[in-house]
Amino acid sequence: MLDYETLKLIWWLLIGVLLIGFAITDGMDMGVGVLLPFLGRTDDERRVIINAVGPHWDGNQVWLITAGGAIFAAWPAVYAAAFSGFYMAMLLVLFALFFRPVGFDYRSKIADPRWRNTWDWGLFVGGLVPALIFGVAFGNLLQGVPFHLDEFLRSHYQGSLLGALLPLLNPFALLAGVISLLMLALHGAMWLQVRADDPVAARARKIAVPLALAVAAAFALAGLWVAQGIDGFRVVTHPPFDAPSNPLAKTVAVERGAWLAIYQTVPVAVLAPIFGFAGILFAAGLSLLRRPGLGFVASALGMAGIIATAGLSMFPFVLPSSTDPGSSLTLWDAASSPLTLTVMFWAAVIFLPIVLSYTVWCYVRMWGKVTVAGVRASGPAAY
């Protein structure tokens, strides 16, 4: 039987894995959507791009739903406070995601070029907006979210509903959004090199290197900004880690450089940013060498390193509060009961390997290059 402290740490790791899994799988689809209007010069070429992700995009999006459900069950306080602070941003993401199922399913039903071009730009919006907003959300987490908890542990967001979006679009958060957008576009370009035939693959190869260099430069700039211009959070006193969750039982200090403390106390954590830089740059090199399969893996590792860097820098914080640091939520004091975490843990142990095995089987069964001749043979009403 796992103890409560261990369960809290395991679920912090598992939610991180779910978010990384979402970024690697559905992020690939979003990146392809962002590149769609630019790499596809004809209707057939755009159909090639869409068919490169068409069989899997809806299954990949389940990673986002699973991550949201896991946060709701494992960290209900985080779920409640985040949906208050990021309500308008989440609605914007949701409305943008509406374009994806309709765009994939209805784009080719009518042969009118204006109809198809409209849905191509809809798929672009459905990739661009979520990719940007998810990065903006991470950028705001590093700065703290304006909420506090009352004596009954009810969260109160400091801001109006209609005015909640603009404060989120601050310079550092926008930089984080640009990093997210660029790395997903790079990931999509690597996938198109694997799955699409020329000339789409050739154009994706051409754009991969500048995208990778831009991601690396923006990631380095964000690191310098966090070190020199962002106040981090540090737990000063805390009840035992296996105690019942009570966010108000701790004291928190806000100080410059606190987000970098883990790299001194746990030096192995520096592997995360190393993987971030190395994966992205190796992806560019492998693209030039025309080894897109390995380049796609390198891109995935780079994305995992960048996301892990943000998560490790914030450890143990999950949702810091900028207006009342003592109300900040950590993995130790925002967790559900031991019974809930235990039941969820065994459900994950049993079902996650099944889901992963089925996902791999689907990719194997539907593997192969997507060509212009192939999409023409499939008929005008297909993807």
Residue 119 has pLDDT above 60, yes or no: yes
DSSP state of 42: S
- Domain assignment present for residue 382? The answer is no
pLDDT per residue over 78-101, tens digit each? 988 888 778 888 888 889 988 988
- The pLDDT, as a whole number, for residue 91 is 86
3-state DSSP assignment of residue 300:
helix
Mean pLDDT on 286-308: 93
Q: Does any domain span residue 95?
A: yes
What is the rounded distance in angstroms from the CA atom of residue 252 to the CA atom of residue 256?
13
Q: What is the pLDDT of residue 166?
A: 65
Question: Which range in 64-78, 156-170, 290-304 is most confidently predicted, on average pLDDT?
Answer: 290-304
Query: What's the mean pLDDT in 1-23?
Result: 91
pLDDT computed for residue 282 by the predictor = 94
Flag whether pLDDT at 12 surpasses 60.
Answer: yes
73-80 average pLDDT score: 90
What pLDDT does 380 receive? Answer: 61
Q: Is residue 383 assigned to a domain?
A: no
Number of structural domains (the chain) is 1
Q: Is the pLDDT of residue 19 over 60?
A: yes
pLDDT > 70 in the chain, percent: 96
Instruction: Provide the pLDDT for residue 58.
Output: 81
Exposure on the CB side of residue 249, measured as CA atoms within 13 A: 12
| pLDDT (0 to 100) of residue 366 | 80
- pLDDT tens, residue by residue, 241-260: 888 888 888 889 998 889 99
- Give the pLDDT score at 160: 57
Distance from C-alpha of 127 to C-alpha of 133, rounded to nearest angstrom: 10
Residue 307, domain member (yes or no): yes
Percentage of the chain surpassing pLDDT 90? 50
Summary mean pLDDT of the chain: 89
Segment among 72-86, 169-183, 327-341 with least mean pLDDT: 72-86
Q: Is 103 exposed, middle or buried (0-12, 13-18, 19+ CB in 10 A)?
A: buried
Give pLDDT, residue 379.
Answer: 65
Confidence check: pLDDT of 381 > 90:
no
pTM: 0.90
Range of the domain at 91: 4-377
Cα(131)–Cα(5) distance, rounded to whole angstroms? 33
Looking at residue 139, its pLDDT comes to: 92
The verdict on residue 271 lying in a domain is: yes
Give the tens place of pLDDT for each residue, 137-169: 899 999 988 888 888 888 878 765 555 566 778
Q: How many CA atoms lie within 13 A of 215 on its CB side?
A: 31
Q: What pLDDT is recorded for position 307?
A: 95
In terms of average pLDDT, the best of 149-163, 173-187, 236-250, 333-347 is 173-187
